Amino acid sequence: MAEIIRELISEKDVDDKIRELGEQISKDYEGKQVHLVGILKGASFFMCELAKRITVPVSIDFMSVSSYGGGTVSSGRVKIVKDLDDSLEGKNVVIVEDIIDSGRTLNYLEKVLRERGVESIRFCTLLDKPERRVVDLHVDYTGFRIPDEFVVGYGMDYDQKYRNLPYIGVVELQ
């Protein structure tokens, strides 16, 4: 089967939205430092661009988590594959995701990270599929709400391909 990528959100629209999110985070954390925690691998592209647009002091770290095992459907159980390098104690944390659907991963991480003594914790996502939510989760900073389609680009992949697309596209199998 061949794959066709249909553009869903243009590079310019993604760039404009990340700028808006950076401005809002800067305003909300004025006079403070913010610690961004990116969820690997997908959020790395988004988080780097977001960090460049935040005007308050920023520190960053990454985590890798899995709820899929070897399958394509979430198992519902979240496992930390790569933990943070630094302590979160007393920090204002913004967890950065590429896309949120069920909300299970962030719901789990919120509990785990609160136990580590954070000052505050908020969520930022480039893409949100709220109709897929299975847990109650408040997302503080949302780039785009999208339909329930399989998307790639800007860090998101299909079988490790298309992460490097500068726009958000939908995979259509031909």
Residue matched to tokens 């159980």: 77
Rounded Cα distance between 77 and 101, Å, is 15
Which of 57-86 are b and which e, b meaning 16 or more Cβ less than 10 Å from the residue's Cβ?
ebebbbbebeeeeeeeebeeebeeeeeeee
101 in catalytic set: yes
Give the residue from 9, 70, 65 showing the smallest Cα distance to 38.
65
| Active-site residue (options: 101, 140, 148, 159) | 101
Residues recognised as catalytic: 101
